[in-house]
Structure 1
């Protein structure tokens, strides 16, 4: 936990309400996100019990599995879910836009928007990931057929689960993570995973403090769990008898319909409070202005969505059960680059986030006291424009002479530290030499060089492009690192997809 977040948590305890740790919203919010609140049956490995799905507060659709241990009912649930999710995805594939590439010499096309899925907490993301893994290898024919939409749903759920691991992506978002990115509560990080308690701190009801609202939310009879786990007391006293009643009414259509209706009522009562909290959270996030670089990260989601849609349309296969060594290394490198870029972008967008880096010495705020915008360096083969400015700060300057600094106000401009001189009254004078962001001439255009009196933030954090690493092809690596022996490859290719049990039933990896 960072110093400022720890301070914000202490202030939340003292004030009785969550404290903001961001001045802007650091994630994209779709105009019509698809909210999905799942429930899984306790004691069964990710066996779906119910889900509440919809793209608007008044567009709820309840899906239930009356007997979660029944495989046919589970895959019927997946088919019903596919009938909602897949049309939602297709609705974002109508219009494309041209994106210039290769410095404007060529263009590529992507969809103008992408779908966004919202779930209550990280466990909801895990539920979708496992549901996708258990369905994407299914077949619509053969001994254990499923509806043709089920494997397609599994592939898309896997796509969204993988995007959720990508730093800065907003394709699949856990509401608790989105809220704690912008507010600090007076409770632990584990307690912040409980959506009712978290919103109790952020937006307590009138007359209650955040702690009182969170304590009230811990009562499952008042605020049912946000899923996918259910309350054990509800399971034992209410749910189990209702499922038993449904199973025992197998030969009586009237009794079976009544039992189904009772199950539907019970599960809706469990899910509706979380459904309302989800849209309440959406409203709180939407009230924050979006950060300047949020749209650029959403463009990355649009690119990923377009690319995978084209892969599916071209008849591409499902994602592998596990990555090979080279593919895993490439993916890890890509995620590390995205994480570094995301951290810098958040700091550039938000003074509160940048304050964390000011505490660690990675940044400081200073006033421009002197400026020489016409300075030209003629010590090289040709003269180049190299203005110098002097800034004064009261903050510690821990960067050495020769270090390169950047300012969020002019992110394409570099500033080399020339002198660092302690001054009176605890102040420090820093002389910076500027390069870039001023055109190619020997005269700086107006506004490209900081003027006297400007107050700017300077940091070692850079949002410059980071080139991708070079990785060998799988066939060029030893068998210990992704190039398996030919015999092993042949054996793997000959094994039927989904084989796992002795009776020919494809193994169901619900867990």
Structure 2
């Protein structure tokens, strides 16, 4: 948690209402996302009790398991969940666009869009992962030797849920989103991170009812109960309220178990469906309310780029399914695990950089930590590089209240409009400016400033910062710094810099000490060149791998 985020939480406590933590929306929101609100049985992590699913806020599809201990009823629930999910997926798998060929890729089909799934919180994301792992290996009724066959679409449901859950581990991915994570990224509340996982309480801080405030609305969502003793805002996602389980659900399931006739059992099942729906509907409504709040923010500039990566992932899994490839393994081999880890580390660095470039609040946190600085240009010295072909290397002198945490010679980067990559630069020196005042309170003669070496060395005359007092970026009291930066790229290939690539005196510019488009590390070795510590020795035939033993985790 950054200092600015901690400050925002303190401001939310003082204001008794959530405060913005972002000025733009850092995630893609589909026009018709698939909203899923799952509910599990208490004490049975993998036993589904019910779910609401759909893309229409006014017409959700309700799935209920009257008796979660009944294996056949569980499989019927998964069949219904598979029908809803696969029906939604079919709308995106066939509509494609053609990506032109590049130096490293042939002309390729890419799905024009992808299905986006939204769940209430991170616990629901883990439940999606559990359902995917527990169903993708099940044998269907088409296998005559299966001891407990399941409906045909259930394993396919598991494969898609596994892909969505795995993709959610990639920072910046938008295929599977947790609503609480989205809201806490864009608003800061005055409650703990654990309390933020309660969707009703979180929305109470962000958008309290008229005449109320954040703490009051959150407390009502967490503890407020109706006359029957049930919570007004049940924590569906996927936990249940213990009072609901003990007072209401247990007796309803007992009546279902004791029912003998078809009419009696149907009535008992209808009663359970109504009870489960009463627990799911408040969270369902909160999900769409959260989507409305997020849509009120403008979309960030780099969101579409990250969504395109999700579309590539969606297209790749669609192709693997159509090609008849086996389900995802329970455990990744060493090379696959290393590739996933490297890809996620790169995605995290890319996401952090893009959010800072898109959002002034995110950039302010990087400036506060010394990873970026914003200043006003006071002088531009046109110099040339040495060598057979001299190139322009302008040296910018700017004043700023941000102290770069880097030594002279470090690389810096500046975003240019309509440029594919950032402009590169080199940090020359950093000098602290000290305002000199006479004993009577007035300023001394001259500019009223002295230069004191910070991360570099030099004087005010050398740095070109002997300007009038008060110059520089920012307002208020505090130290000011004179920073000299040499531009090394982004100016074209001619002896004269391209127009607009070199700022003029008086311009406000922002440089970062982190790359704008981080690249992944070196490629991993091929399988035949992998050392013995990771599956070798090289050249030797790999030993046959025994299948994983069947455990209780594989069956819900």
TM-score bin, normalised by smaller chain: over 0.9
Residues 1:147 and 2:151 are matched in the alignment: yes
TM-score, length of structure 1 as denominator length: 0.93
For the residues of structure 2 that align with 1:209 and 1:225, how far apart are their CA atoms?
21
Shift of 1:109: 2.2
Q: For structure 1, list consecutive stretches of 5 or more residues without a partner in the other structure.
A: 502-506
Residues 1:293 and 2:307 are matched in the alignment: no
- 2:497 is matched with which residue? 444
The within-5 A match list for 1:362-381 is 362-372=371-381, 375-377=383-385, 379-381=386-388
Shift of 1:465: 4.2
Q: 1:403 aligns with which of 365, 388, 410?
A: 410
Shift of 1:477: 3.5
Which entry has the higher C-alpha Rg, 1 or 2? 2
SS at structure 2 position matched to 1:92: helix
Superposed CA deviations along residues 355-393 of structure 1, whole A, max 9, x for unmatched, are 111111111110112224x6432x112122222222111
Conservation of the 8 A alpha-carbon contact between 1:391 and 1:430: yes
Residues 1:60 and 2:60 are matched in the alignment: yes
- 2:291 is matched with which residue? 282
Shift of 1:9: 0.7
SS at structure 2 position matched to 1:246: helix
Q: 1:490 aligns with which of 544, 549, 553?
A: 544
- 1:390 is matched with which residue? 397
- 2:465 is matched with which residue? none
For the residues of structure 1 that align with 2:120 and 2:359, how far apart are their CA atoms?
25
- 1:504 is matched with which residue? none
Shift of 1:440: 1.6
Superposed CA deviations along residues 254-296 of structure 1, whole A, max 9, x for unmatched, are 1111011101110111000000000000011111111111111
Q: Which moves more between the two structures, 38-47 or 405-414?
A: 405-414
The within-5 A match list for 1:446-465 is 446-465=499-518
Superposed CA deviations along residues 386-443 of structure 1, whole A, max 9, x for unmatched, are 2222211123233221111112346520111223333343432222211222222222
Residues 1:32 and 2:41 are matched in the alignment: no
Q: 2:237 aligns with which of 227, 230, 254?
A: 227
For the residues of structure 2 that align with 1:394 and 1:227, how far apart are their CA atoms?
46
For the residues of structure 2 that align with 1:111 and 1:61, how far apart are their CA atoms?
26
For the residues of structure 1 that align with 2:193 and 2:236, how far apart are their CA atoms?
16
Residues 1:500 and 2:507 are matched in the alignment: no
- 1:415 is matched with which residue? 425
| Distance change >3 Å, CA 487–CA 310, structure 1 → 2 | closer
The within-5 A match list for 1:136-175 is 136-140=136-140, 141=143, 142-143=145-146, 144-175=148-179
Q: Which runs of 4+ in 1 moved over 6 A?
A: 484-488
Shift of 1:453: 1.9
The within-5 A match list for 1:282-321 is 282-321=291-330
Conservation of the 8 A alpha-carbon contact between 2:334 and 2:535: yes
Please provide the CA RMSD for this pair: 2.1
- 2:370 is matched with which residue? 361
Residues 1:188 and 2:192 are matched in the alignment: yes
Conservation of the 8 A alpha-carbon contact between 1:418 and 1:432: yes
For the residues of structure 2 that align with 1:69 and 1:473, how far apart are their CA atoms?
47
Shift of 1:461: 1.4
Conservation of the 8 A alpha-carbon contact between 1:130 and 1:510: no
- 1:247 is matched with which residue? 257
SS at structure 2 position matched to 1:457: strand
Provide the aligned length of Structure 1 versus Structure 2: 499
Q: For structure 2, list consecutive stretches of 5 or more residues without a partner in the other structure.
A: 224-229, 436-478
